Copies of this chain bind each other. A is one copy, B any other.
Amino acid sequence: MGTGLDLPLDEVMVGDCIAMLRRLPPASVHAVFADPPYNLQLKGELRRPDDSIVDGVDDAWDQFSDFAAYDAFTREWLTECRRVLRKDGTLWVVGSYHNVFRLGTAMQDLGFWILNDVIWRKANPMPNFRGRRFTNAHETLIWAARGAESRYRFNYAAMKSLNDDVQMRSDWYFPLCTGAERLRGEDGKKLHPTQKPEALLHRVLVSCTQPGEVVLDPFLGTGTTAAVAKRLGRRFIGIERDEGYAAAARARIEAVEAMPESAALALPNKREQPRVAFGLLVERGLVPAGTTLTDRHKRWRAVVGADGTLRCGAATGSIHKVGAELQQAPSCNGWTFWHIEGRDGRLRLIDEIRTEIATQGL
């Protein structure tokens, strides 16, 4: 990233988001979180969702022109975000039924590769006062990679541990942003109509970034994304059109303290942990050459070679290859297939021995 010097890190830029995005170098941020304005079709003006909805737009042409204007705006900022995103970066977008279908369609058309749609289930949504619809109790987030070929980051193990050791699902349950977390003016009125809860951003950022990586929010508002990014040891770039919101965001971010990096690091996925060769266990004498390994049901037995290969009749090769060949399976994880039989007859998985050596260092 030779253009790193051009990145206005940990700053809030004030101005039109498309113009500001154009100032940023390409392929420079690891993640984007965007909470764009909703499409309420009046005079081409874009409004936030708690403004009153315009009724009586029954002219198909008007509708089309309004949606067309929103779509054009959407495609423009998404295009710039995609340019600024690194090849393996991912992008999050939030919306409700008013606009989320336009967002998702535009993303797919521009080449983004959708990974999940995630539902934020609100613990305390506003009731439907007229009793004419179901209580609108959720918002939708779309998570997408820059392209279908991206090798994006997903902190699977971190998400699993956040969720009591079962896979994190696509439906998340969080309260609205209220109480002390909600930014208010001196008059006690909320500063921003759609301030998102920090817990939501916490999960988003922990899921797809590491400390030190750069998170961009083109619709920063009062700075939830930046505040959570700073606390988690991520760098941020915020863009906000409204000077008042931007000022509130800066003050809020200033008051945040970053946690120690040891705490901010996501639990490493197993793929990211240092690899231990089976040969190392042989060299160290933990699985001496000549040892006989067997599977869980003691159906097959194979002998360890001095070079870390296994031999079982004609089958010879890595612990994985021999395991697959014996089972006539397309593949096999030898670590979780082969056991050592102790003197008492008890079986011990070779993966346990690997874990020991990995935690002891090298």
Contact = CB atoms under 8 A, between A and B. Distances in A.
Interface of A: 47, 51, 55-58, 60, 63-64, 67, 96-98, 100-105, 107-109, 111, 114-119, 121, 125, 127-128, 131-138, 140, 142-143, 147-149, 154, 156, 159, 167-171, 207, 269, 329-332
A282 to B, nearest CB: 18
Contact of A156 (B63, B116, B131, B167): B131
Counting chain B CB atoms within 10 Å of each CB, the highest count among A109, A133, A159 belongs to A133
B131 A67 contact: no
Contacts of A101: 100-101, 103-105, 107-108, 142
A56 B149 CA distance: 7
A331 to B, nearest CB: 7
Given A97-B114, A104-B100, A121 B60 contact: no
Given A51-B330, A101-B100, A134 B167 contact: yes
A109 B183 CA distance: 37
Contacts of A170: 134-138
Nearest to A114: B97
A142 B97 contact: yes
B168 A109 contact: no
A119 to B, nearest CB: 5
A108 B67 CA distance: 8
A118 B96 CA distance: 11
Given A64-B109, A108-B67, A331-B51, A171 B131 contact: no
